[in-house]
Structure 1
Amino acid sequence: MLPESLPPAAAEPELPPYEGVSIGDIVLVVSPHGAAEAREALLAEDVIGFDTESKPTFRKAEVSTGPHLIQLATESRVYLFPVGQLPEDHGLKAILESKRILKVGFGLGSDLAQLHARLQIEARNILDLSRALRSEKPGQTLGAKTAVAQFFGRRLQKSRRTTTSNWANPRLTERQMLYAANDAHVALRVYRAALLCDPRLQERHRAGREVRQADLPHSPD
């Protein structure tokens, strides 16, 4: 059951579309300079949006070689890391394995397993909003589209054609970049909105802030 302060979700087709980020808010991390910028910005945050994309598999028993794209979002920027073009010092391990930065996203189970298998990254301090947020229907997880409708009264548009596109392509289209960026950014926005009315998330956020403060270097007396 959702917190009482949340309005009931309207029928999704009747809702206005969710605006999302613009292409100017997206940074494609394919150079050492871009990686340094991304690392500095992301390590300064207490919470970031997180998602990955993988080239789909269509044949039975075909094994995915993903992730092919990793998306990390702050309030103002979304950093896209194409795995096949990562600069040597990309900083993903430091960011995703940080215990003080909370990474929030939807349906992250397979994302975490693929990260470990392909990049040997053991992501820490992860919050899967699909499980953390309460669905109106008992026993069901809450997806990004439903969460956007309930928290913002908007319709998150998900194109199946883009979802199943080739995320391993060395040149992503603008449509792919916007789709991927919004997946991570909307998770961060939903988390921030949920903090206003969910005591369980508030408690976790406070605990994380204490860890963050404890990890900061102390000035000498």
Structure 2
Amino acid sequence: MFSGMDEDDEIEFPEWMIQCSQAAKAVQTKTSEGRNLEQVQGSSSSGFKTRSPIVSSFSEVNEKNQRTAAPRVSQDDAVSSLQHVSDVAFECERLLNSAPSLQEPLLLGLDLDWPSTYAAIIAKTNTIHLCYGENHCLLFEVLHVKKLPLVFIKLIKHPNVRLLGHNIIEDLLKLGKDFNIDVKQVIASNLILSSVEQKLSCKHRWSYQKTQVNHGEEERFEPFTCEPDIDTTAQFRGRIKYCSSFEDCAAFSEEILIRADHCDQLPLGFDLEWPFRYGQGSGKVALIQICPDESICYIFHVFYLKSLPKALILLLRHPKVRLTGLNIANDIRKLGRDFKIDLSDVLANNLIELCTLANKKLHCSHRWSLARLVVNQLKIYLDKGPVRVSNWANKDLTKRQVAYAATDAYVSLLCYLKLNSIQDA
């Protein structure tokens, strides 16, 4: 999904942040006077994906605005901003040497920063933020680095290292894409994913703290190992029925309707794809993916249809049909807007939101992405590569596009079946 602010909306920044930005700009204007700019290692934070760490560059402003600014870092805390590959390698080597000697896994908080505009889809990672211990943070400036040190890759793949963070799977996928790293093993074996609510909060807003959801129960972590001979990438391997004409869409919808009539309840993995262009926003719905079981997936290419077949609308409204997916309500609303159909009854009666179901069954309150839920429940890796933002309006889709679309609906169904099998406490 893509969403944005209205043009009339105004963003109100805290006073300390405004003064920090002004101070950084003032420093930049004095380059001609010979001021050493190396002390300003992190410029204005307004263009980054995540919250900006507190760095020494703004120490004068922070001292001046102690009462209004975010909590300052104490002298005992370690915040190191590293710009050279050799420095990054040295710090990672130090952590790597300590990992084998620890009785418990070494916990590392991981986060990436990159520009938070629509260009973030293709923009490269600016900063790698790594936290360990209680108040130790490392900031790796990697915008102009073509290749990460091998010791960093060994560190995140080490069997005695566990990574955690908000939307960490998406960050790892981004890291793998930007620096050509195979992160499948890391996602499969080195993440902390469990039914326990986890928070990251420290004076740098990043140390590790666990919060028990079910008091009185022991914390249950569910790591899993990656067997070398197992393909851990999610891929639909069944039969794909693809259609782009009005008549074929109607015929395929009839097939699924017949199946719905002969069962008590029919869960359908459901997803949509549509083109998105910078400056133009979201286009019309291009694909409707419906997966009734592991052996077959239907893909309706509806971008060039002026209206949807009656049989397809009846399928969505069928009393025995349950459409399941992530953010599925927003998908149904978009489908209704694009084809001018009132689907309020579908919203009320026929949807199963995977995020809600997962939080209920796992007794947590996560904001799940589909990739993260797939790893947690299916123990496989969901590839969200460049095909995600490809042109879905093309009349002739590539095999990769079709496979990607079918897989999304397929794993949505599998996640529902797995979650639904969990007994309620």
TM-score range, shorter chain: 0.7 to 0.9
- The yes-or-no answer on 1:8 pairing with 2:234 is no
1:84 alignment counterpart: 303
Q: What is the distance in 2 between the residues matched to 1:37 and 1:173?
A: 21
Amino acid aligned to 1:2:
S
Query: How many angstroms does 1:53 deviate by?
Result: 0.5
- The yes-or-no answer on 1:148 pairing with 2:341 is no
1:116 alignment counterpart: 336
Query: How many angstroms does 1:58 deviate by?
Result: 1.0
Q: Taking structure 1 as the reference length, what is the TM-score of the superposition?
A: 0.75
Deviation string 1:96-122 (CA, Å, 9 cap, x unpaired) is 122320000012243122111112151
1:211 alignment counterpart: none
Q: Which has the higher contact order (CA 8 A, sep 6+)?
A: 1
1:185 alignment counterpart: 410
Q: What is the distance in 1 between the residues matched to 2:352 and 2:308?
A: 28
Distance 1:43 1:146, change over 3 A: farther
Q: What is the distance in 1 between the residues matched to 2:354 and 2:254?
A: 24
Distance 1:138 1:7, change over 3 A: closer
SS at match of 2:303: helix
Distance 1:121 1:186, change over 3 A: farther
Larger mean Cα displacement after TM superposition, 78-87 or 91-100: 78-87
Q: What is the distance in 2 between the residues matched to 1:41 and 1:109?
A: 21
1:218 alignment counterpart: none
2:43 alignment counterpart: none
Amino acid aligned to 2:195:
L
**1:131–1:142 contact (8 Å) kept in structure 2:** no
Distance 1:111 1:79, change over 3 A: same
In terms of fraction of residues, the more strand-rich structure is 2
Distance 1:196 1:88, change over 3 A: closer
Q: Gaps spanning 5+ residues in structure 1: where?
A: 201-221
Name the count of aligned residue pairs: 194
Q: What is the distance in 1 between the residues matched to 2:234 and 2:281?
A: 35
1:49 alignment counterpart: 269
How large is the RMSD of aligned CA atoms in angstroms? 3.1
Question: For residues 157-172 of structure 1, what are the structure 2 equivalents within 5 Å?
Answer: 157-159=383-385, 161-172=386-397
Query: How many angstroms does 1:72 deviate by?
Result: 0.6
Q: Taking structure 2 as the reference length, what is the TM-score of the superposition?
A: 0.41
Query: How many angstroms does 1:88 deviate by?
Result: 6.8
Q: What is the distance in 2 between the residues matched to 1:36 and 1:30?
A: 12
Query: How many angstroms does 1:133 deviate by?
Result: 0.8
Q: What is the distance in 1 between the residues matched to 2:278 and 2:331?
A: 18
SS at match of 1:96: helix
Query: How many angstroms does 1:41 deviate by?
Result: 2.5
**1:21–1:178 contact (8 Å) kept in structure 2:** yes
Amino acid aligned to 1:168:
A
- The yes-or-no answer on 1:102 pairing with 2:296 is no
Q: What is the distance in 2 between the residues matched to 1:182 and 1:42?
A: 22
Larger mean Cα displacement after TM superposition, 141-150 or 83-92: 83-92
Q: What is the distance in 2 between the residues matched to 1:90 and 1:169?
A: 24
